[in-house]
């Protein structure tokens, strides 16, 4: 596996770990492999997924010879957790890309999870094991002009087709909060009116791992939330429960909020793929460009480590380069 046509991506020239023809034949005859394959077929998985699943099992067999029972068949239950961890290390040592390792692990968890539900093993040796973390590519970065065009789209068209003034005010507040506070999509969907401090000058946000933080609400975001609250009061609706509700009073789902962002991005004529995370990314980057302290940005975004926040640094390199180029120009010549 990992050679030509295997579907596994490697970095550089990793050594071969291809299963032998005998191992491939044993896999085709293995009753548990075939039972799992039938289960995938019944689940509607594609031929490509089926092939990848069998390839991953062949790769496991090639790197963990102890699974072979005297060369006559496989004893999948022989793979314990230490050997599963060693298998992951071997993949890494052979140059498999982090994304490939993550996909292989997901596939093997599926197989061993199936064996566990069928009573063939007591524990899944791959449960909870994650491979080397692959950095997800950052979403497109909006310029400040593009961000302004997006967040003001609802008020340029106050009454959307099939909507009402309240919908426009709600959507404007959603966009402003994303851009001015950098909250995550899940965090925004979980906001309640009771999370707002008096005067709505800050919001209590429930982040990852149940951690809470307060984010300031200022400028246009504050105006947008106050306008939404005033509209609700005039309409006889008490501002309680979800901060951003649907027509039935329930909290908007992440899917609904994502659609709202994409809708106004289209209306604003933006050519980029805009998502809630793109607004979060743009918020952090624009703060960095305006010389905000990195730890202040970390606190605002709710990152557990500074390393997560530092991923945004590369987007400000052009501005940093511009400032660096001026150093010599502004430095007085040395006195002889």
> Is position 248 within any domain?
yes
Model-level pTM greater than 0.75?
no
Task: List the Cα angle 273/275/280 in 5-degree steps.
Answer: 125
Residue 281 sits in the same domain as residue 151: yes
CB 59 within 8 A of CB 8: yes
Residue 202 sits in the same domain as residue 236: yes
> Is position 134 within any domain?
no
> Is position 262 within any domain?
yes
> Residue 254: which CATH number?
1.10.443.10
Residue 284 sits in the same domain as residue 153: yes
Q: Mean pLDDT over residues 96-122, rounded? A: 90
Q: How confident is the model at residue 14 (pLDDT cuts 50, 70, 90)?
A: very low
Choose the catalytic residue: 172, 277, 281, 286.
277
pLDDT computed for residue 214 by the predictor: 92
Judge whether 277 counts as a catalytic residue: yes
User: Range of 63's domain?
Assistant: 21-118
pLDDT computed for residue 186 by the predictor: 92
Judge whether 286 counts as a catalytic residue: no
Residue 158 sits in the same domain as residue 289: yes
Judge whether 281 counts as a catalytic residue: no
Q: pLDDT tens digits for 213-257?
A: 999 999 999 999 999 999 999 998 888 899 999 888 889 999 999
Q: pLDDT tens digits for 20-40?
A: 565 666 677 888 889 999 999
Q: How confident is the model at residue 12 (pLDDT cuts 50, 70, 90)?
A: very low
Would the pLDDT of 159 be above 70?
no
Would the pLDDT of 1 be above 50?
no
Determine the distance from the C-alpha atom of residue 134 to the mean position of all C-alpha atoms in its chain, rounded to a whole number. 11
To the nearest whole number, what is the mean pLDDT of the chain?
Answer: 81
> Is position 9 within any domain?
no
pLDDT computed for residue 110 by the predictor: 92
Choose the catalytic residue: 184, 229, 281, 286.
184
Q: How many domains does the chain have?
A: 2
Residue 198 sits in the same domain as residue 243: yes
Judge whether 280 counts as a catalytic residue: yes
Which is higher by pLDDT, 18 or 307?
Answer: 307
Among 181-190, 258-267, 296-305, name the one with the lowest average pLDDT: 296-305
Judge whether 323 counts as a catalytic residue: no
Residue 165 sits in the same domain as residue 280: yes
Cα 228 from Cα 243, distance rounded (Å): 10
Q: Which helix (H) or strand (E) holds 60?
A: helix 47-63
Q: pLDDT tens digits for 52-63?
A: 888 898 888 888
Would the pLDDT of 13 be above 90?
no
> Is position 317 within any domain?
no
Residue 194 sits in the same domain as residue 273: yes
Q: Residue count of the chain, please give it.
A: 336
């Amino acid at each position: 596996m990992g050679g030509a046509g295997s579907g596994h991506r490697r970095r550089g020239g990793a050594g071969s770990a291809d299963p032998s023809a005998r191992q491939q034949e044993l896999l085709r005859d293995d009753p548990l492999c075939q039972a799992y394959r039938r289960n995938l077929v019944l689940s509607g998985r594609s031929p490509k997924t089926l092939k990848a699943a069998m390839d991953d099992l062949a790769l496991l067999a090639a790197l963990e010879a102890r699974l072979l029972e005297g060369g006559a068949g496989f004893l999948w239950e022989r793979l314990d957790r230490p050997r599963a961890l060693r298998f992951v290390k071997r993949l890494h040592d052979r140059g498999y890309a982090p994304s490939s390792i993550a996909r292989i692990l997901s596939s093997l968890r599926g197989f061993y999870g199936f064996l566990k539900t069928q009573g063939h093993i007591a524990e899944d040796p791959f449960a909870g094991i994650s491979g080397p973390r692959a950095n997800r590519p950052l979403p497109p970065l909006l310029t400040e002009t593009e961000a302004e065009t997006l967040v003001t789209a609802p008020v340029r068209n106050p009454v959307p087709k099939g909507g009402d003034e309240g919908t426009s005010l709600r959507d404007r507040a959603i966009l402003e909060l994303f851009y001015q506070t950098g909250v995550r999509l899940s965090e925004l969907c979980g906001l309640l009116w009771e999370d707002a401090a008096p005067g709505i000058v800050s919001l209590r946000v429930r982040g990852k791992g149940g951690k809470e933080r307060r984010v300031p609400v200022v400028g246009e975001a504050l105006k947008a939330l106050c306008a939404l609250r005033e509209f609700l009061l005039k309409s006889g609706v008490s501002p309680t429960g979800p901060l951003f509700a649907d027509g039935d009073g329930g909290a908007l789902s992440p899917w609904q909020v994502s659609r709202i962002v994409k809708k106004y991005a289209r209306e604003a004529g933006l050519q980029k793929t805009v998502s809630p995370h793109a607004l979060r990314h743009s918020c952090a980057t624009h703060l960095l460009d305006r010389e905000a302290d990195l730890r202040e940005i970390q606190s605002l975004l709710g990152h557990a480590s500074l390393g997560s926040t530092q991923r945004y640094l590369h987007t400000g390199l052009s501005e940093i380069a511009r400032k660096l180029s001026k150093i010599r120009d502004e430095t007085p010549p040395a006195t002889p």
